[in-house]
Amino acid sequence: MERPRIRVISRSFGQYCSEALEILKSFAEVDVKGAKSFDEMVEAVKVYDGIVLGNEKLDREVLKNVIKLKIIARHGVGVDNIDLNAATEKGIVVTYTPQANADSVAEYTIALILNVMRMIPKLHDNTVNGGWNRILGYELMGKTVGIIGFGGIGKRVARKLSGFDVKILVYDPYVGEEEIRKFGANPTTLDELLKSSDIITLHVILTEETKHLINSERLKLMKKTAYLINTSRGAVVDEKALYIALKEGWIAGAALDVFEQEPVDPKNPLLILDNIIVTPHNANFTLEALRRTDLMNAEDLRRFFNGERPLYVANPQVYKQ
Ligand code: NAD
């Protein structure tokens, strides 16, 4: 039987996990070659049976040209760069890698909490520059941590916090109270969480409803001693309001891994504040998360071309038609 042809368009697939590429080569002819232009994408969907896709756009216009393509493996968690309806209409299975980086982001969130409460980056900068200035910090033990958004990452943050002797409050209107209690956390309203938490960490997806969820009004509800952590999406926080809140001492500090505009504008006034820690959308970037992502793609492609159903299908409707 003829071996399927797979085109690896994603630039990062296999870079940190040669085994993933080996898995593909064990059953398919593999071409590792990026595709930037519309024409290159059209060529890929015409010639190949499977594609490993990064952030490149695969819309209806491109998918109109499909001849052989049967499966798209999205190398990542989000599938918003693929027109899922168009793919489903063509009978193409789309796989993705849900929660592949959730543990990395949850661990990083806890690192940011501890770092901002002790101002470790500032201590480091000062020490390597010849200083010996100590900074009075705070313990996490005994504090109340408010988690907004209790999906894959929010739940992991709760689980990983369980050894820190903290009280955990959760606001997520789409998750049942019983489910929240299973993680040793207490469900509450948004206002109550804002008023009672010493640390507030954001883990919602970005939607119309969550855009600027943290605005001036809500920052004013927070304790003056509280910290805000954002590893979700930049636009969940109104940055202008946060700047005023940090500058005028409405809250004690913030740690941000994500920004309304990325890469962040070097002139963004948040960057020069004293009570903030910032990082470049780095929470998911670990060897383990990248390898997990590669292997989830490779194993699902193997399953598919072996006649089995892949585990992580983003358009399960395709199996109903
Ligand atoms: P998820 O879909 O598993 O969970 C999101 C949760 O938000 C859901 O439980 C949902 O019910 C809840 N939610 C939706 N609207 C809400 C609202 N109005 N109020 C409160 N809760 C609401 O997503 P996830 O995988 O846990 O990801 C969480 C966030 O982390 C996303 O914004 C994602 O883009 C981001 N993320 C960031 C990085 C990074 O490197 N910084 C990496 C991966 C994911």
Amino acid at 66: V
Amino acid at 223: K
Q: What is the CATH number of the domain that holds 301?
A: 3.40.50.720
Whose C-alpha lies nearest to ligand 1, atom 31?
Answer: 205
With a CB cutoff of 8 Å and minimum separation 6, the contacts of 281 are: 257, 258, 259, 262
- Say yes or no: 274 and 149 in one domain: yes
- Say yes or no: 36 and 139 in one domain: no
Q: Please give the tally of structural domains in the chain.
A: 2
Q: Domain range spanning residue 18?
A: 5-98+287-320
Cβ 69 vs Cβ 264: under 8 Å: no
Averaged pLDDT score across all residues of the chain: 97
Which atom of ligand 1 is closest in space to residue 206's alpha carbon? 32
Q: How confident is the model at residue 201 (pLDDT cuts 50, 70, 90)?
A: very high
Specify the pLDDT at position 75.
96
Specify the pLDDT at position 61.
96
- Say yes or no: 50 and 25 in one domain: yes
Q: Which of 22, 177, 262, 288 is catalytic?
A: 262
- Say yes or no: 78 and 187 in one domain: no
- Say yes or no: 160 and 228 in one domain: yes
Q: How far is the CA of 16 from the centre of ligand 1 (A)?
A: 26
- Say yes or no: 229 and 300 in one domain: no
- Say yes or no: 64 and 107 in one domain: no
Tokens of 243: 């700047």
- Say yes or no: 252 and 198 in one domain: yes
- Say yes or no: 64 and 156 in one domain: no
Q: H/E/C letters for each residue in the chain?
A: CCCCEEEECCCCCCCCCHHHHHHHHHHCEEEECCCCCHHHHHHHHHHCCEEEECCCCECHHHHCCCCCCCEEEECCCCCCCECHHHHHHCCCEEECCCCCCHHHHHHHHHHHHHHHHHCHHHHHHHHHCCCCCCCCCCCCCCCEEEEECCCHHHHHHHHHHHHHCCEEEEECCCCCHHHHHCCCCEECCHHHHHHHCCEEEECCCCCCCCCCCECHHHHHHCCCCCEEEECCCHHHECHHHHHHHHHCCCCCEEEECCCCCCCCCCCCHHHHCCCEEECCCCCCCCHHHHHHHHHHHHHHHHHHHCCCCCCCECCHHHHCC
Tally the residues of the chain.
Answer: 321
- Say yes or no: 87 and 119 in one domain: no
| Per-position b or e across 267-282, b if 16+ CB within 10 A of its CB | eeebeeeebbbbbebe
Q: What is the mean pLDDT of residues 303-317?
A: 98
Whether residue 1 has pLDDT greater than 80: no
Specify the pLDDT at position 258.
97
Tokens of 177: 């109270």
Query: Is 159 among the catalytic positions?
Result: no
Q: How far is the CA of 210 from the centre of ligand 1 (A)?
A: 10
Opening angle at CA 49, ends 46 and 50, nearest 5: 110
- Mutate which of 230, 232, 279, 293 to test ligand 1's pocket (most atoms within 8 Å of Cβ)? 232
- Say yes or no: 54 and 72 in one domain: yes
- Say yes or no: 43 and 66 in one domain: yes
Query: Is 212 among the catalytic positions?
Result: no
How far is Cα 152 from Cα 42, in angstroms, rounded to an integer? 35
Q: How far is the CA of 204 from the centre of ligand 1 (A)?
A: 3
- Mutate which of 204, 278, 279 to test ligand 1's pocket (most atoms within 8 Å of Cβ)? 204
Specify the pLDDT at position 160.
98
pLDDT tens digits for 62-105? Answer: 999 999 999 999 999 989 999 999 999 999 999 999 999 999 99
Q: Which of 74, 233, 260, 292 is catalytic?
A: 233
Whether residue 321 has pLDDT greater than 80: no
